[in-house]
Each structure stands twice: as C-alpha cells, then as structure tokens.
Copies of this chain bind each other. A is one copy, B any other.
Amino acid sequence: MKINEHFLQLKDSYLFATVGRKTTEYKNAHPDRKVIRLSIGDVTRPLAPIVVRAMQRAVEDMGRKETFKGYGPDQYCYGYDVLIDSIKGSYARKGVTLSSDEVFISDGAKSDLGNILDLFSADNTVLIPDPVYPVYVDTNVMAGRRILFADATEENGFLPMPQEGVKADIIYLCSPNNPTGAAYSKEQLRAWVDYANRNDAVILYDAAYEYFVQDEYLARSIYQVEGAEQCAIEFCSYSKTAGFTGVRCGYTIVPTALKRGGASLKRMWARRQSTKFNGVSYITQMGASVVFSEEGEREIAENIGYYRRNAAVIASCLDELGIWYTGGKNSPYIWMKCPDGMQSWAFFDRLLEEANVVGTPGSGFGKNGEGYFRLTAFGTHEDTQEACRRISAMLRRG
C-alpha cells in the first residue's frame, strides 16, 4: 500500500495549528498570565438573535415526528430552498443573478476550497498569491501540483495583477485578502477575468471577507465583473459574516457557464458533492437562512461594526508607534511591518513572551510575509485595547 508521498513535502503542520500549539504551551507554562489572542481569525460576538431563534425552532422541529428532517433535499446537493433563495437575494442586491443549481451549500469555505481540487487533474499549474491563506498552497502540495507564486508586496499594494508571460491553469484570488486586507476593485478583477478566459484558466475566488468591504469601487463578488461566470468559482462563508466559525456554513457558486475541457464544472461539482458529502445540518441551514433577511443584516451589521472599531483601535496604536501597516478598513485584518526589522516568528515569540499577546507571523503565509505580522480585529473591545496597551508598552521599553 502506497501512501500519498506528497504529504511528506508539507511543512510539519498547518500554520494555525502551530500558532495554537505554541500559545497553549505558553499558557500551560504561565497559568497566571492572561494571554490575549489576536491570532486565529476567530470571532467573539455571539450569534445574532434572529439566527438563535431560527435555530431553536429548527432544534424543536427535529424533536417532533411531524417536523423531523432527515437528509437534505436531493435537488440542490442537500441545500434547502429557503437558504438558497436568501443567498440568491443577497447576490441580486449586488447586481448578480444566480440560479438555484449554481448555489452549493457547504460546511464552510475551507472544506470546499480543499475539495474543489478533486475536479482538476494533478497536471495543472496553480498560481497562488504570496502571502496568502496557507490552505491554498498546502492543499495543492498534497495533490502534487506545480505551484507558481504571484508576488504581493508593498510595491503593488499587495494586489498582484496578471503577468502575460505567466501561464497558469488555476488561479487563487482572495479579496479582501487574508492576511493583508488588500481588496481588488472591479476594474482590477476584470483584468484577471479576461486573463483567465484568454488562457482557459479557472479562478478560485475566496470571498470569505466580502462583508467587510466598505468602499463602493471594490468588488463584493467576482461576478460583478462581466465574463466571470465563464471562468470563476466563488467561495463564501458565514464564518466572518455572521459569526458561524463554530456553526459551519458557507456557499460555493459554480456557474452554469463555466466549462472546461468540454465539461460543466457545475455538474462535476454536483457529482463530487453527492458522492463525497451528505450536506449541512438542517439546524445550521435554518440559522443561515435568516442572516440575509432585513433584521438579520441589521444584527450582523452591529457585529461587523464592533470588529471595525477594534481595527480602528489597532490602527491608531500602530500610527502612534510609527509602525507601517495596511488593512483594517475593508477587512478584519491588520497587516503590519515587524518593528526593528525583526523576523516574523521572532516577533511572534517576543510578543507572546513579553506582552502575552498572540498574533500570526507573516512568514507563515508565504515568503513575502517575512518581516510582517497579522493582527485580527475579532477580539473583544477590552482585549483589543489591553493588547494595544501592552504592545505599546513593550515597544516603548525597547
């Protein structure tokens, strides 16, 4: 029996597992210290009341014979109409029209970003931004694909654009970006869409943070760009939009018009999911189905506003310290330069040991992340303010 030897080429463990492990080890060794985590992109605000009520009703349904639900409906890979319709409505308000069979309910963008690769031959070249969410690289290393990197640096505002000499088959875009917070305009995305269509490539567009976009000229969905339906798959999540990191729900859009090698990627994904997946919990789907209602959007807007205020606090703190950063405006992440030219893991260690604050070292996201550091705005106000006080004190001490 031959194992998949590509696994041997992976770094020891997944970035956030390492950050988590080092944090746990420190806490175990120093139980008296209050460690503040601005590291993993985990939310802290509770679910919106309308979501809680919908889930409570769904739990009651499951306890009664007359309203009990088993497997989700076959027709749309186990997605309930009420949820799919709410997602279509949300897209319509962004100027995008979808049909129900293009909307695939997932247990989160991370699962689908990994599993979509089942549809593609290992013999493809993948273009991945550097720095970016490490899952894109790791999942392709596991499959043995060739990886090229699109450099994101201060020079290009962390927004790489297509390069004519670079031939890629599968292109990852994450906008607003994790970890840098940089977000593409619709104009910039048009260049990527045109490039992908000219080169028979597929764009995997990670829109996990689109709800944080404030500026009108920035894209909320790649389908706001004409031609995207012929080349792009969009991955969305309720994790950051509605605080569903512990609930697990998202949606992946695979347009009818997206065909490669004569095959419909929509039909391939439906086949993959009906064979290797059994849908998302009824209770979860009912909770998700009210997120984009008027009341739902009002309630989640309060939570998003709460996180935005954290980002502003972190931004002020770095302004006062004279530390360069980007992000925080259309994104819940602040991407800062490590002080005194420190390497990012060295800064991680110092921040953890001296300030008892956890962030994520930029080099974990790619070579262009070296010398940078990610802080998240998902904590509580109190923790965020306290973390900023400690960071200031630490850096002022020198």
Contact = CB atoms under 8 A, between A and B. Distances in A.
Interface of A: 1-5, 7-8, 10, 13-14, 16-17, 20-21, 24, 40, 42-47, 49, 52, 55-56, 59-60, 62-65, 68-72, 74-75, 107-108, 110-111, 114-115, 118-121, 123-124, 135, 138-139, 142, 169-170, 200-202, 239, 243, 245-248, 260-261, 263, 265, 268, 271-272, 274-284
B277 A111 contact: yes
A123 B279 CA distance: 30
A63 B119 CA distance: 38
A279 B263 CA distance: 32
A1 B120 contact: yes
B3 A121 contact: yes
B4 A278 contact: no
Given A72-B246, A110-B277, A1 B52 contact: no
Given A21-B74, A276-B135, A169 B1 contact: yes
B139 A1 contact: no
Contacts of A55: 59, 62, 283
A123 B46 CA distance: 47
A248 B62 contact: no
Given A63-B46, A135-B275, A2 B261 contact: yes
Contacts of A40: 71
A225 to B, nearest CB: 19
Nearest to A66: B46
Contacts of A63: 46-47, 49, 52
Count this chain's copies in the assembly.
Answer: 2
B74 A46 contact: no
A123 B4 CA distance: 9
A52 B65 CA distance: 13
What 8 A-B pairs have minimum CB-CB distances, sorted nearest first? A114-B276, A52-B63, A2-B121, A1-B169, A42-B70, A20-B74, A70-B245, A69-B246
Contact of A65 (B45, B124, B260, B263): B45
Nearest to A200: B1
A30 B119 CA distance: 37
Contacts of A24: 74-75
B46 A64 contact: yes
A274 B13 contact: yes
Contacts of A64: 46
A68 B243 CA distance: 10
Contacts of A118: 4, 142
B246 A62 contact: yes
Nearest to A168: B1
Given A45-B68, A275-B139, A263 B7 contact: yes
Contact of A170 (B1, B43, B247): B1
A4 B248 contact: no
A44 B59 contact: no
Nearest to A125: B1
B1 A261 contact: yes
